[in-house]
Amino acid sequence: MRKRIFQLTVFLAGAFLFVSSSLSDDIHHSQPAWGFFAHKRINRLAVLTLPPEMMVFFKPNIDWLTDHAVDPDMRRYATKHEAPRHYIDLDEYGTPPFEDLPRLWADAMMKYTDVWVVQLPGDTVQLFGNQKPVPENLTRSYKNYFFQNLLPRFYKDEEMLDADSLNAFLQASGIPLRAKTAFFREHLSKHGIVPWHLQKMQRDLTEAFRQRNSKRLLRLAADMGHYIGDAHVPLHTTSNYNGQKTGQHGIHGFWESRVPELFADEEYDFFVGKPEYIANPTDFFWQAVFDSHSMVDSVLTMERALTKSFPSDRQMCPDMRNGLSVLAPCRDYAAAYQTALQGMMERRMRAAIHAVSSAWYTAWVDAGQPDLSKMDVSPATEEELKAEEELKKIFGQGKILGRPEEH
C-alpha cells in the first residue's frame, strides 16, 4: 500500500509543478476561487478533524486531497458545464429569503427551462418555463415528462426534443398544440448552480462510500471540498462577483486570495472541532450560500470606504508571482481590510473547513459507516494519466469556458 501511494504522490507532485509554471500568465486575468492556497488548506485541514475510522483512509491520502482541491477550477477550462458549479448569483432571484427559488435542482431546472413547440415554420410557441409557469393541475404530469425526456438531454448539449413524446404529453394534458419539432432553452446555469450541485455531490459521495470505491471516493471528496469552499465566499453569491458593477474590480482576489495568503498560516485559528452529522444536506448547503450572501454588502462597502480613507500610495505594492512582478494589495492595506470586516475571511474559512469535514462524515455515516481500513488506492491507469495531462494542457492555454473571471 505504501508503495502505491508513493507512486501516486510522485506523479501528482510532478503534475503540480507543471501547473504552477503554466499559471503565471493566467494569474493576471483569472484568480482561481479562494485562491489555490485557501482551497488546499481547507481540504487539508478538513482531513485532520475526521474521526479515527475515517482518518485511517483519509490521512494517507491527505496530500492527494490537498493537491486536487483545485481541480474543479482547472476543469473550467475544459467544459462549459463546470463554471456554473462554483457560484450562484442570488441577486438574480430577488431578495432574501428567496422563497420562490426551488431548493431542489430538478425543480429549479423545470422552472427555468423554456420548452418551445414548433408547429409550422414560423409558428413557434412557448409551452412552459421561464415567465410561463406550469398550471397547478399539470404540474405532476409535466414533471414526469420533464424528468424523463428533458433532464437526460441537458448534459448532452442537445437542445432538440423528441416531438412524439412531447405530443403524447400535450395530448394527454388536453393542450391544443401539436409539435412538428420542439426544443428547449435552459436559463438556470448562467447564474450558477453551486447549492444544487452540492446536493448531487453529497449523494454521489455517499454512494462511493457505499461501494468502497477508493478512487472515486477521493475524487469526489476533493471536489466536494472545493465547491463547499466556494459556497462560503460571499462574492460567489452575487452577480457583482468582482466588483465590476461598482467600480471595485479586483475585489474578488483581494478578499479570497490575497488576505488569506498573507494571514491564514500566521494568524488564523483553524481548530474547528469535530465534524457534525448533517441531517438535511439540502438545507445545509442553501444556508451556507445564504450566509455568504448576507455578507456581500459588507465586503463591498468596507472596501469602498477603505480606498477613500487609506493613503492611496500605500494601497498597492509590487509583489512577486511565479517569477513575475505584479501589483497586489499591500500587507497593511490587506490587514486594514481584514480588520474592517472583523475577520470575516477567517470565519468563513473556518466554517468552510467544518462544513467540508461534516459533509464527508455525513456521507460516510449515511453509507452505513463502511470499514475504510483496508481500502487501497491503485496507481493511476494510462487512461487516467492521459486525461490529467489533457486537463493540464487545456488549463495551460488559459481559456475559461463560461464566466470569464473570478469564479
| Contact set with Zn ion (CB under 5 A) | 33, 73, 86, 230
Q: Which is nearer to Zn ion, 73 or 303 (CB)?
A: 73
End-to-end CA distance of the chain: 37
d(CA 16, CA 19): 5
Nearest C-alpha neighbor of 348 from the set 239, 240, 228, 250: 228
Q: Which is nearer to Zn ion, 86 or 252 (CB)?
A: 86
CB of 355 to Zn ion, least distance (A): 15
CB of 323 to Zn ion, least distance (A): 25
d(CA 35, CA 407): 10
Angle, helices 214-231 vs 35-47, to 10°: value is: 120
> DSSP string of 355-384?
HHHHHHHHHHHHTT----TT---PPPPHHH
Q: Which is nearer to Zn ion, 71 or 388 (CB)?
A: 71
Q: Which residue is nearest to Zn ion (CB)?
A: 33
Q: Which is nearer to Zn ion, 68 or 134 (CB)?
A: 68
DSSP bridge partners of 347 = none
CB of 264 to Zn ion, least distance (A): 17
CB of 65 to Zn ion, least distance (A): 16
CB of 124 to Zn ion, least distance (A): 37
CB of 48 to Zn ion, least distance (A): 22
CB of 237 to Zn ion, least distance (A): 13
CB 248 within 8 A of CB 300: yes
Residues written for the chain: 407
Q: Which is nearer to Zn ion, 223 or 366 (CB)?
A: 223
Q: Which is nearer to Zn ion, 67 or 73 (CB)?
A: 73
> DSSP string of 202-219?
HHHHHHHHHHT-HHHHHH
d(CA 68, CA 210): 22
Q: Which is nearer to Zn ion, 33 or 161 (CB)?
A: 33
CB 41 within 8 A of CB 349: yes
